[in-house]
Chains A and B, each alone.
Chain A
Amino acid sequence: MPQRLPRNPFASSTTTTTVAIPSDRPTTRRPSTSKGNRLTQFFTSSPKSKEQQSAHEALLAAVAAQQQHLLNNPSPHISAPSLSLPTISLSTAKAGEANMDEPPTTLFQPPSVAEAKRQARIDAQFGPLGNQSHRYVSKHVGGELADPVIDEPPYYYLLTTYISYLVLIVFGHVRDFFGKRFRPEHYKHLKSANGYAALNSDFDNFYVRRLKLRIEDCFARPTTGVPGRYITLMDRKTDDFNKHFQFTGTYTETLNMSSYNYLGFAQSEGPCADAVEETIKKYGISSASPRADAGTSDLALEVEDKVAKFVGKPASMVFSMGFATNATSFPALVGKGDLIISDELNHASIRIGARLSGAMITSFRHNDMGALEKKLRENISQGQPRTHRPWKKILVVVEGLYSMEGTMCDLPGILKLKKKYKFNLFVDEAHSIGALGPRGRGVCDYFGVDSAEVDILMGTLTKSFGANGGYVAAEKHIIDKLRATNAATLYGESPTPPVLMQILSALKIITGELVPGQGEERLQRIAFNSRYLRLGLKRLGYIVYGHDDSPIIPIVLYNPAKMPAFSHEMLRRKISVVIVGYPATPLISSRARFCVSAAHNKDDMDRLLAACDEIGNVLQLKFSTGVAGGAENLPDGVTPGMEEEWKKANGLQGVIQPPRWSLREVIANGVQDVKQPLR
């Protein structure tokens, strides 16, 4: 009989404490309690176990558990089983005397099925923090921002990449040649007919038709539910090589490495969602008017005030779409006679906004301060083309964090130039707001720069805040002027009340006004996860782009066929990743991109690393040479400062070994090494 009962009464959620006694009662037949697990000793009332563990000790342990619980409090849930069940056995607290008649009074009630389900749901949106050591403060270490080292694979991979594209293109043309003759109906939209020109150009469509279609199933995978720590994909299949998809009616829950959910605010439970629900009840779903008409609510003003305070500017304005924020802000700021100098990798919305403004546009090499200075000197000295009149003003536009490269802008470098060349600076913090800096306030916070030095801070509210829309923050007179001249304020819909409330409550959590401690935890978790994953991937042998603290982690795949292969292999391991190829990246460097979130925990990162380890072997993706990091740790007693000397002494000068760590080593060393400068 007793053997059939679970050894740990708390292992099963349905077992109640009263039933649990017999499992520990038959001590007469059991040789000793040492066999039972440590946990049960906490709860037992049997005299035998008391011999080993005094009531005092039990209390101490319970108090320690409670303290640990308090420490962990900002996290919605504590994972370690020994901590999650802080039960105090009151009967043991009674000194010495065994009281067999009374059932043990415990504070703990095991969760019901519904409760456990709910908890699982919450955990699927925001993972529990495994250990308090899995935190890190995202902050620039000082000194100049070094450009990340771009590693290159053996030429074999570059060559095969070009050959692959060549084969794809030749094959595509062959298929087109026969297709156009034997199946003209498939090319209808590319041919002029009945006096109408073709809707799409044959040439432009070639890439989509012959290259992208092959990997169409890796894009736009439909999802359902919350895009939190996990994301639920709707399974689909195709009978005609990705032209059409049929839903199979099944769902797959995958680890979400694809959403821009940096701080994990994509949640349908918790303080944000509760606040949003209240807002819907009170305000309804829409303001039904542009901001300049009757769409300005008290809520919108409050959010603007909060956003301004958050980014450290006197005033701000919010919009219902991040893309439109850029597309309408440039025309309101600059025009004819002005010059926009834009980083070559700036987002499409910036390019469109800049084009709409009518100002002259020129670009400089990504993050290259030398190139920017050269451009500035040339343009200021030459003035406007043909007339040589001086520019009315020059606006330099950079992004805080680049979404395809994972690099940060060299803000200190730009500000140094700004002092000398007197240009205006516009920083698009679409990806960096919330994701960078010890207080999550973007690149200025990360570099410890006063945000007053940047003229315009723009950002989206879609990513870190789990809401939608964008903001522009600047001096008050600039914002006042923008209110009158920005088209999205005059004609575009205003952000809806639930979205505003999501922004507001997320901001309050980050700043600590709401659920103190949780915001800090989120910020430190994303910083830890980012570094941990980046270091792990480098050690496994991947070529990883970007700066160390960036939560966007692209790994380079090169060969086009590896894009779908990587995506499929990841999906098989229930991980959803984004793959990006030409034209979003240079032809050669197609990549997979991981977006790290505060909703992930170390277990998730380990799971991803394990998957990457396996896939990297199968697909031959571990081609780093070691110049970009992932090196072996220095032996004990050798500090990074002594590294050069030590290398010299051991004849290792200039020797760079390609990092190929085993998964076990990566995981074993990860947590402590992340806290040092990554090597």
Chain B
Amino acid sequence: MSFFSAPSMDKMEFSDAQRFVERSMHEITNRFQKVPGSAMLIRYIQSSYQDDPVRSAIELILVIFFVRYLLAPSYATHNNNFVTLTEEEIDDLVDEWTPEPLVAPQTAFEEADNEKLPVIVGPTGPKSKLSNGRTVTNLASYNFYNFVGNEQVKEKAIQTLRTYGVGPCGPPQFYGTQDVHMKTEADIASCLGTEGCIVYAQAFSTISSVIPAFCKRGDIIVADRAVNFAIRKGLQICRSTIRYYEHNNMEDLERVLQKVVKEQSKKPLTRRFIVTEGLSETVGDCVDLPKLVELKLRYKFRLMLDETWSFGVLGRTGRGLTEAQNVDASQVDMLVGSLAGPLCAGGGFCAGSTDVVEHQRISAASYTFSAALPAMLATTASETLNMLQTTPEILVQCRENIKTMRAQLDPRSDWVHCTSSPENPVMLLVLKSDVVNSRRLTTQEQERVMQECVDELTKQKTLANGVLITRLKSMPVAPGSNGKDDQWKLQPALKVCITTGLSKKEIEKAGVTIRHAITKVLTRKTSSKLALPAVS
């Protein structure tokens, strides 16, 4: 049956198709005639064909070429290095390919680090309870003014919770901007004396986003060699040309600036920036801001100052480096700070002129593409900032405590010295250079010594003596990199964070404990090299 019916079917379909073609041709002609100017086009083609058929043919070829050119990809899809393979060969190669495991195995040091990670049970405070049951003096948190335990702050946070809930559930550009965010921005701007301010949802990613928002390909950035990890990531992603100068060395900075200006004198003017930190995260010392401003004005650079560790710390009322060194904050083009550290809230900010701030609202990735800061963290930041303004005594008290601790460590210890500036509540203790030299300690070995000191302190025999400190973590090495890329390596250090939650006596006692623990570790018979399995 089907044998006979097949031809007739074909016939049917063929005639259908023919009719369809005819119909659609008719349709197309109809439509074409309706387009204004079509008649003119047809007349033109007809007349030109009559006059000069060759010309029409050339024109047709041109049209075809044009269409083909338009449709072709704008770049070569394969370079000449492309190896043409058959499907079977590809299948074989696919079968053959064995990827490495997603992550490399943990090193022994990392494993030990993970195991020893302190877990605080309950609130963070001057005395914290650890998961191993011990209560220790907490000198590891950035709780400088003990705002974490402040009842007034808590009360304010609860009020905000009951009005706003927890998260704002949206990015700032899409209904995520709440009045509390605007208030916090205004508070910071008025406190610093800048035209505007923008609040980010996380302090860590603030500077990494501010840098690429302004610095583009072809721009020049002169940065301190010891800048923190977040700045490094910002520098990495912005594609600008980066020059480094020696850490906090203003002469070297001037030398680099001069060099840049000289090199660029013949080229079109590009944006130039100096990027550095107020209080260095990796060294702890303080930059000479008046000198920096003088240099930036002289060489026409813009200044990006990361005040993550100095805002809320330096100055009479904690307004940061600008207050401490009597520099108008408007002299700093982009002033980046943290609300998560000393202010015990969350988020970061960038203060500057209106142009600078408004530009970030649409072009800073971690502002535009991230949810806004939870309302309660914004109000807490406003609250704690206000407390610093109204009761500057706590800053004085904090500095007293720093002095007390320093007296116990820096001059008295034979092994370590403090690289932090005298007003920095984050005290970084590095091994003295003669210790390092005489024992020929590599960076990794120093790191291990520091970790031993930290461990020694938490497992003090008498319960009351336990002190929780931490160490400066070295920057993570990217997988696949051989570690030779960075010329600069931070020196491992112990990190002791001072708090006003402890009395002078308690600080003194903790200082003595720390000093003794360091001595104990460094005079231990089993050399520290044997204490832990070797780093792979």
Contacts and interface: CB of A to CB of B under 8 A. Distances in A.
A193 to B, nearest CB: 10
Contacts of A258: 170, 174-175
Interface in B122-170: 122-125, 128, 131, 138, 140-143, 147-150, 153-154, 157-158, 161-170
Contact of B158 (A200, A281, A424): A281
Given A222-B179, A294-B470, A288 B102 contact: no
A220 interface: yes
A478 B103 CA distance: 6
B228 A491 contact: yes
B408 interface: no
Contacts of B118: 294, 296
Contact of A285 (B113, B164, B344): B344
A296 B117 contact: yes
Nearest to B89: A381
A540 B330 CA distance: 55
A292 B166 CA distance: 25
Interface stretch (A328-336, A437-445, A631-639): A328-336
A189 B195 CA distance: 15
Interface string B435-460: 00000000000000000000000000
B123 A462 contact: no
A220 B185 CA distance: 15
Interface in B159-192: 161-170, 172-180, 182
B216 interface: yes
A335 B473 contact: no
Interface string A219-259: 11111111110010110000000000000000000001011
Nearest to A462: B371
A180 interface: no
Given A273-B162, A391-B99, A467-B166, A285 B480 contact: no
A481 B371 CA distance: 27
Given A323-B365, A333-B102, A484-B113, A225 B163 contact: yes
B73 interface: no
B12 interface: no
Given A287-B124, A348-B369, A293 B140 contact: yes
Contacts of A499: 166-167, 374
A467 B167 contact: yes
Nearest to B121: A298
B320 interface: no
B359 A199 contact: yes
A313 to B, nearest CB: 13
A280 B173 CA distance: 29
Interface residues of A, number: 130
Contacts of A344: none
Contact of B236 (A297, A356, A477): A356
A363 to B, nearest CB: 14
Contacts of B169: 227, 259-261, 266, 462-463, 466
B237 interface: yes
Contact of B141 (A289, A477, A487): A289
A491 B202 contact: no
Given A281-B158, A327-B366, A487 B166 contact: no
A498 B154 CA distance: 11
Interface stretch (B264-272, B385-393, B523-531): B264-272
Interface in B371-405: 371, 373-374, 376-377, 380
B356 A199 contact: yes
A388 B359 contact: no
A266 B165 contact: yes
A386 B346 contact: no
Contact of A488 (B204, B271, B346, B377): B204
A413 to B, nearest CB: 17
A294 B175 contact: no
Contacts of A120: none
Given A220-B172, A420-B94, A496-B346, A294 B138 contact: yes
24 contacts: A227-B165, A227-B169, A233-B175, A259-B176, A266-B167, A276-B161, A287-B120, A289-B142, A292-B117, A294-B468, A321-B201, A323-B369, A323-B370, A331-B476, A331-B478, A352-B365, A380-B93, A381-B94, A388-B81, A421-B94, A467-B166, A468-B373, A477-B106, A493-B338
Interface of B: 79, 81-83, 85, 89-90, 93-94, 97-107, 110-111, 113-114, 117-125, 128, 131, 138, 140-143, 147-150, 153-154, 157-158, 161-170, 172-180, 182, 201-205, 208, 214, 216, 219, 228-230, 233, 236-237, 269-272, 281, 300, 302, 338, 340-341, 344-346, 355-356, 359, 361-362, 365-366, 368-371, 373-374, 376-377, 380, 468, 470, 473, 475-481, 495
Can you list the 9 inter-chain pairs with the closest CB atoms, starting with the nearest?
A335-B480, A492-B204, A294-B140, A336-B480, A323-B370, A284-B148, A321-B202, A335-B479, A484-B110
Given A199-B359, A258-B174, A286-B345, 20 more contacts: A195-B269, A196-B302, A197-B270, A208-B362, A223-B177, A223-B178, A267-B165, A277-B162, A285-B376, A286-B143, A286-B380, A287-B120, A292-B117, A294-B468, A327-B205, A338-B480, A392-B100, A468-B371, A486-B476, A498-B157
